[in-house]
């Protein structure tokens, strides 16, 4: 990044100046873009510069790094997009000086216009170079003529009731959900936070959407998990689209609170959900431009539906990955996956081995211990461990007091290189906060890491979907010896009584719990849609070559196939661009 002759603290970055500098940059950018002036466009960006687009310019979710790549793409899209009326938003958080990823910047939320859409974005101008952009985010906010309903234009009561002697709201809702007289435009597989979030977004855009959920009730994907489960990140960043959690709810939500909320959410948002229904297969009909999808209901009956879009929203963790280790077939006790674990009440006074030191492994070990079991946790590979308190450093943005829509926009602006830089800085602070915890775990022989490039648990989540634990008490139990630590490399094999160690000891067990994770979502695609499509689209989740998530929230190589997933915050943020992409296709707007 180039520097100027003025020290940062001498540059005027008051609120008035910050707004003026942002407006000046946006005005110059608009004119340079309109005239296709490459030299002027390049001059508007720092040497180290980043642009992320959420459907606003590219009709996809994309990111670009460096002047040449950014300007090339801007010029490629300008004719189709014709973006104008760039200005600092008068209704959003005002431009101000902040520090992002260790860089002092002027940060401003702006809005812009295209012939078919209204957009919003974020601009970061380094204090050292306030006339050049370090970070630019452009995001489609709404499609003209297809805006989401607002308080001022709620549907009238006549849309929901035909008066005395006619259908009432419940009659109409039952008819809508039956799909006896029409086909859905979209089928969403899974009614968790991902499925409900994208279904709600599509509902608000007027896209007819059916959600199929294999469990008997919405929310069962959380309700049926182990008894003690709670979220490991705080509530302020975990709201669903449109309806925030109540203000009296605790910072760490329990599984049953989420389960009940999801059931209420589907009802309140008037989402069409078929429970006890599974997608058993689908094939894409190129001639018809849509899917022939077969679903099976609880009574065993099947129905073929013909949606134009199929959204897999059944989570990054789909099919459990079962272990079949040498000697498992001889074990006289019970072997279960964490996916099947409920609670430890039946194991009081008995011995348990938990294989795996990710989040589920730690939680199950702690629950078994709390119920009076003699527990040993078996570490198979190095693990990132962070306290709940330290982990919140990554989410401090949501504690800055901004409206959640502004926080989401600020969070979405970060490209992969900026995320890496930011997480590396945060990890240094986390390690300092957790130094006593880390020292205690290492003294017990626990193998710790902070990610392959010291980016911590967040990049592990993005890259592989696991390999970390946010400590809610199990680490202290390991440090105090109340939960014994074993290493997988020290186990020779398993047998009738438990684990046979290389030193001749036998770690006896009545229960073995495998915390071995889940197969890639690509394997679920292989199972339901066939190997041709699975191989065609490639990996799902993890970092793609362009820095975005593989096949998430944007078009895949298979027409009409989409993926939605992640934590509640990711699902809230990225359900919007995904829904807008589908709506744009439905309206014939995508070039």
pLDDT digits (tens, 9 = 90+) for 27-75: 999 999 999 999 999 999 999 999 999 999 999 999 999 999 999 999 9
- In the numeric block, the tokens 């629950």 are attached to 367
- In the numeric block, the tokens 């204090």 are attached to 127
231, containing H or E segment: none
Query: Which pLDDT score is estimated for 8?
Result: 43
> Could you give the domains of the chain?
8-143 (3.10.450.50), 168-318+519-586 (3.50.50.60), 328-514 (3.50.50.60)
DSSP assignment letter at 445: T
- In the numeric block, the tokens 């189709």 are attached to 80
**Segment 275-321, tens digit of pLDDT:** 999 999 999 999 999 999 999 999 999 999 999 999 999 876 668 89
63, 399, 426, 496 from 105: Cα distances, Å? 20, 19, 18, 63
Helix (H, G, I), strand (E, B) or coil at 130: coil
Contacts of residue 204, Cβ cutoff 8 Å, sequence gap at least 6: 148, 149, 242, 579
The closest of 320, 312, 319, 321 to 190, measured between CA atoms, is: 312
> What is the β-pairing status of strands 506-508 and 484-487?
unpaired
Helix (H, G, I), strand (E, B) or coil at 315: coil
Whole-angstrom distance, CA of residue 291 vs CA of residue 306? 5
Query: Which pLDDT score is estimated for 7?
Result: 44
Query: Which pLDDT score is estimated for 1?
Result: 38
Q: Which residues of the chain have pLDDT under 50?
A: 1-10
Give all strands of the β-sheet with 186-189 in edge-to-edge order.
Answer: 272-274, 209-212, 186-189, 309-312, 561-563
The closest of 195, 453, 445, 473 to 314, measured between CA atoms, is: 195
Farthest CA pair distance, the chain: 81
143, 155, 448, 570, 583 from 204: Cα distances, Å? 12, 11, 45, 19, 10
24, 363, 444, 447 from 409: Cα distances, Å? 21, 33, 42, 37
65, containing H or E segment: strand 61-65
Structure tokens that stand for 6 in this block: 């003025």
Paired with 88 in beta bridges are 110
Q: Rg of the chain over CA atoms, in angstroms?
A: 26
pTM of the entire predicted model: 0.93
Query: Which pLDDT score is estimated for 2?
Result: 40
Q: Where are the alpha helices (DSSP H) in 434-498?
A: 435-443, 456-464, 474-479
Output the CA angle 50-55-60, nearest 5 degrees. 85
Find out whether 279 and 212 touch, Cβ atoms under 8 Å. Answer: yes
What is the distance between the terminal CA atoms of the chain, rounded to a whole angstrom? Answer: 36
Query: Which pLDDT score is estimated for 236?
Result: 85
* DSSP string covering 402-442: --HHHHHHHHHT--HHHHHHHHHHHHHHHHHHTHHHHHHHH
295, 536, 582 from 183: Cα distances, Å? 13, 27, 16
Paired with 292 in beta bridges are 283
The closest of 70, 182, 189, 184 to 132, measured between CA atoms, is: 70
> What is the β-pairing status of strands 133-143 and 117-126?
antiparallel
Backbone angles phi and psi of 254, in degrees to 5: -90, 165
């Amino acid at each position: 990044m180039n520097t100027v002759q003025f020290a940062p603290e001498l540059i005027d970055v008051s609120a008035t100046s910050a707004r003026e500098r942002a407006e000046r940059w946006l005005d110059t950018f608009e004119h340079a873009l309109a005239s296709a002036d490459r030299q002027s466009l390049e001059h508007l960006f720092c040497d180290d510069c980043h642009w992320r687009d959420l459907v606003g310019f590219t009709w996809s979710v994309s990111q670009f790094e460096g002047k040449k790549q950014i300007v090339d793409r801007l010029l490629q899209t300008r004719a189709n997009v014709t973006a104008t009326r760039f200005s600092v938003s008068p209704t959003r958080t005002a431009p101000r000086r902040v520090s992002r990823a260790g860089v002092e910047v002027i940060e401003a939320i702006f809005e812009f216009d295209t012939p078919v859409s209204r957009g919003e974005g974020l601009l970061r101008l380094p204090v050292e170079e306030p006339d050049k952009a370090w970070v630019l985010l452009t995001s489609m906010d709404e499609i003209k003529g297809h805006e989401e309903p607002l308080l001022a234009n709620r549907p009238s009561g006549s849309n929901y009731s035909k008066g005395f002697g006619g259908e009432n709201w419940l009659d109409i809702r039952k008819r809508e959900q039956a799909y006896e007289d029409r086909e859905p435009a979209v089928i969403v597989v899974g009614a968790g936070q991902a499925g409900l979030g994208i279904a709600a977004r599509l509902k608000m855009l007027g896209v007819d959407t059916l959600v199929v959920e294999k469990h008997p009730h919405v929310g069962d994907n959380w309700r049926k998990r182990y008894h003690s489960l709670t979220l490991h990140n705080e509530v302020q960043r975990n709201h669903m689209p449109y309806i925030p959690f109540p203000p009296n709810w605790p910072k760490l939500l329990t599984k049953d609170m989420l389960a009940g909320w999801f059931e209420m959410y589907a009802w309140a948002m008037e989402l069409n959900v078929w429970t006890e229904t599974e997608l058993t297969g689908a094939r894409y009909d190129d001639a018809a431009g849509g899917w022939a999808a077969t679903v099976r209901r609880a009574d065993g009956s099947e129905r073929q539906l013909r949606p134009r879009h199929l959204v897999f929203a059944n989570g990054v963790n789909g099919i459990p990955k079962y272990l079949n280790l040498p000697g498992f077939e001889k074990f006289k006790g019970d072997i279960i996956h964490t996916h099947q674990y409920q609670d430890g009440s039946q194991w009081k006074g008995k011995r348990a081995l938990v294989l795996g030191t990710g989040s589920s492994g730690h939680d199950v070990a702690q629950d078994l211990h709390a119920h009076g079991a003699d527990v040993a946790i078996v570490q198979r590979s190095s693990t990132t461990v962070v306290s709940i308190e330290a982990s919140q450093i990554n989410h401090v943005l949501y504690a800055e007091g901004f409206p959640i829509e502004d926080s989401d926009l600020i969070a979405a602006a970060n490209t992969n290189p900026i995320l890496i830089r930011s997480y590396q800085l945060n990890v240094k602070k986390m390690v300092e906060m957790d130094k006593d915890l880390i020292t205690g775990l290492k003294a017990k022989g626990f193998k710790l890491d902070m990610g392959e490039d010291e980016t911590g648990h967040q990049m592990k989540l993005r890259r592989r979907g696991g390999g970390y634990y946010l400590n809610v008490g199990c680490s202290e139990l390991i440090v105090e010896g109340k939960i014994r630590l074993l290493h997988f490399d020290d186990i020779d094999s398993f047998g009738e009584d438990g684990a046979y160690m290389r030193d001749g000891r036998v770690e006896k067990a009545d229960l073995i719990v495998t915390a071995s994770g889940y197969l890639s979502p690509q394997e679920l695609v292989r199972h339901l849609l066939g190997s041709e499509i699975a191989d065609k689209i490639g990996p799902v989740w993890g970092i793609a070559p362009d820095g975005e998530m593989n096949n998430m929230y944007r078009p895949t190589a298979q027409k009409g196939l989409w993926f939605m997933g992640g934590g509640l915050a990711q699902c809230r943020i990225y359900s919007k661009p995904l829904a807008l992409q589908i709506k744009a296709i439905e309206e014939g707007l995508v070039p």
